[in-house]
Structure 1
Amino acid sequence: MRSTSPFRRLLPAVLALTALLSVSACGGGDTAVPGAEAGSSTQPSNLEEVYANAVVADAAAILPESTMARIKERGTLIVGAALDAPLLSQQDPANPESIEGFDADLAKLLAIYILGEPNIKIVPPASETREALLQNGTVDVVFNTYTITEERAEQISFAGPYLESGLAVAVKGDNQDINGIDDLGGKTVIVGANTPAVTAVPEKQPTATLVSFGTDPQALQALKQGRGDAYVQDFTLLASHSADDTSIKVVGQPFTTESYGIGLKHDDEEFKAFINEWLQKIQADGTWGKVWDATLGEAVEAEAPSAPEIGSVPGS
């Protein structure tokens, strides 16, 4: 069932993380790092029960000569994912083999579904290299806040969607006047150049004055310096920032919808159907919601939303 409001109001201050890291900065390069290996304890402690009871595919679902069969023979799921995205996919500096977050934990659960163990190896992509990593077989799947579009679906395939996000509003931590997009009329609004906010904000608030910056760090700095009243950016990105920096907070609900999919090699229909079946199972048994609660839910003052409907957007 599609959620009409995937996220609720963020807490002004949430769990502190070790470094300010950007969801969009995916740690580019080809270096692969191990994730959860068999017998290791890299999963977060509040998900131990989820891992212990995770669904495993029937032997008949691992079709001969399929992508699933090749992964099972290899013994490791190779995942394109960030190492520097708090709440989504972040490497623990004190334990580099520990990578946690909504994307990372779902990837480990997919590995369990195929292998019976959370054996993953992560290859950090840049935004512009994700399609190539799938096309040349460097990775099996991409979990990387990968927005499903029809244009991208001409080059690769998407399972899902598995998560919905959207544009949200951030303000300074002591701001009590702005509670969401409805309060931005006549305000100075910071946006990232060439981001969806450039057009979305004027559509909602035509009297707002936009100030654009080339990078997310520049935009955040401008907000903290008071060079704008608010900053509009993707919810997951703002959530990761506010999780580390209590001088900013995210207010209100996302006012657009963006659907994230699991990237796969183009036209691998067997693997796509296999993953979509897994997604439906973890939605139905409550696993999806438990992972959300333990990761993105740390920054949201609400119960887990309903997972998005599989195949519900063009390109999926």
Structure 2
Amino acid sequence: MTATALVAAAALTTACSGSSGAAKVPGAPAAAGSSTDADRAVEKIIAAEMPAAASLIPPGSTAAAIKKRGTLSVGGTQTSALFSLLNPTTGKVEGFDAALSQLLAKYIIGKPRTRLTNVTSATREALLKNHSVDAVFSTYTITPERARTVAFAGPYYTDGLALQVRKNDTSIRSLSGLEGRTVVTESGSTAATVLSRKVPTAKIQLFDTNTECLEALRQGRADAYILDQGILAGNASSNPDVEVLPGTYSSEPYGIGLPRDEPDFKKFVNAWLLKIEADGTWAKVWKETVGTQVPGDAPTPPAIG
């Protein structure tokens, strides 16, 4: 998202959405039935992507190895609306991150061939380090600590941490309402660190996935859920018993996670990001995913590097 509070959801290879029309949080998925049209539009955008010139993929490069293999191995998720969510009707993963991963595959291979490995906030670094995946597209916030073990391309988007509560609970309206309360978030995310600093008395419970955190909140095992606003908004769009409170409490720049021992690939992916931003492809994908719920023109992408 942009540094203002925008959007909804998390990451993989092709994500989808269904919605409750009552959701007013920016970034909530589009109404039921409209995701098909948006997905078709994204497919057209991907089909229009031209493969990289041979001179940009020299022999011995990481991109050349991926091209020879014929598949881009992507770390991501299937549980985050607008960014990377499995559409049970089509069997595809749809959304902003999913589309970007397919665009990168098309640019390298000539076809949008990706192979998904499901990741969590706690497993991303290990999968990159042992080369189980080529890249992680998973609403992956760039931090100095992570940058010591991961090479990040980007950032390509900026979001912010927000709060989700049950609609029938009016006792929490901001961070101050979390004192002494039980709050869930994903293990390995930046949210736990931010919350412990801002509300030291909050009782933090960690789960591996967004789905587990959401269910803990809905079932009353937690009083609130803190994570990126976009992901929470995606939850609210299809679960009318929860809501996202106004305001964000951090800036979360999203990067594409890459292995640190492949500096040539980071340079290649950053150049590709600059290309799709300059030629309007980035904005078109945003409009058909995140932009289905955020009015107005596409935001200006954050400065790469």
TM-score, normalization by structure 1: 0.73
Match of 1:310 in 2: 304
Measure the CA separation in 1 of the matches of 2:54 and 2:144. 33
Using the TM superposition, name which of 215-224 and 231-240 deviates more.
Answer: 215-224
Measure the CA separation in 1 of the matches of 2:221 and 2:146. 36
Partner of residue 273 from structure 2, selected from 275, 279, 287: 279
Matched, 1:267 2:241: no
Match of 2:17 in 1: none
CA contact (8 A) 2:2 2:159 kept: no
Measure the CA separation in 2 of the matches of 1:219 and 1:47. 30
Measure the CA separation in 2 of the matches of 1:228 and 1:99. 29
Q: 1:165 to 1:65 in 2, by over 3 A?
A: same
Partner of residue 128 from structure 1, selected from 122, 132, 136: 122
CA contact (8 A) 2:3 2:160 kept: no
Measure the CA separation in 1 of the matches of 2:153 and 2:94. 21
Match of 1:5 in 2: 4
Measure the CA separation in 1 of the matches of 2:266 and 2:27. 39
Deviation string, structure 1 residues 57-101 (Cα, Å, up to 9, x no partner): 1111001111111111111111111123222222232333x2211
| Aligned residue runs from structure 1 range 105-254, under 5 A | 105-173=99-167, 181=174, 185=176, 191-192=183-184, 196-197=190-191, 200=194, 210=202, 212-215=204-207, 220=214, 231-254=225-248
Using the TM superposition, name which of 112-121 and 3-12 deviates more.
Answer: 3-12
Measure the CA separation in 1 of the matches of 2:259 and 2:234. 29
Match of 1:79 in 2: 74
CA contact (8 A) 1:190 1:223 kept: no
Q: What is the Cα-based RMSD across aligned positions, in Å?
A: 3.6
Runs of 4+ in 1 over 6 A off after TM superposition: 174-178, 225-229
Match of 1:64 in 2: 59
Q: 1:210 to 1:265 in 2, by over 3 A?
A: closer
Match of 1:294 in 2: 288
CA contact (8 A) 2:182 2:202 kept: yes
Q: 1:292 to 1:48 in 2, by over 3 A?
A: same
Measure the CA separation in 2 of the matches of 1:12 and 1:267. 35
Using the TM superposition, name which of 224-233 and 106-115 deviates more.
Answer: 224-233
Q: 1:62 to 1:227 in 2, by over 3 A?
A: closer
User: Which amino acid letter does the alignment assign opposite residue 262 of structure 1?
Assistant: I
Using the TM superposition, name which of 281-290 and 219-228 deviates more.
Answer: 219-228
Deviation string, structure 1 residues 171-214 (Cα, Å, up to 9, x no partner): 44578998x75xx555766632676556646877x7x9845444
Measure the CA separation in 2 of the matches of 1:292 and 1:164. 13
When the two structures are aligned, how many residues end up with a matched partner?
A: 281
Measure the CA separation in 1 of the matches of 2:65 and 2:102. 17
User: Which amino acid letter does the alignment assign opposite residue 7 of structure 1?
Assistant: L
Measure the CA separation in 1 of the matches of 2:224 and 2:177. 12
Match of 1:90 in 2: 85
User: Which amino acid letter does the alignment assign opposite residue 119 of structure 1?
Assistant: R
CA contact (8 A) 2:87 2:93 kept: yes
TM-score, normalization by structure 2: 0.76
Partner of residue 257 from structure 1, selected from 235, 251, 255: 251
Measure the CA separation in 1 of the matches of 2:87 and 2:248. 29
CA contact (8 A) 1:81 1:123 kept: yes
Measure the CA separation in 2 of the matches of 1:58 and 1:167. 39
Measure the CA separation in 2 of the matches of 1:112 and 1:12. 26
Unaligned ranges ≥5, structure 2: 8-23
How far 1:244 moved relative to its partner? 1.4
Q: 1:266 to 1:213 in 2, by over 3 A?
A: closer
How far 1:268 moved relative to its partner? 1.5
Deviation string, structure 1 residues 4-46 (Cα, Å, up to 9, x no partner): 425277159753679xxxxxxxxxxxxxxxxxxxxxx9x9212
Match of 2:49 in 1: 54
Using the TM superposition, name which of 75-84 and 269-278 deviates more.
Answer: 75-84
Measure the CA separation in 2 of the matches of 1:52 and 1:263. 24
Q: Secondary structure at the match of 1:44?
A: helix
User: Which amino acid letter does the alignment assign opposite residue 261 of structure 1?
Assistant: G
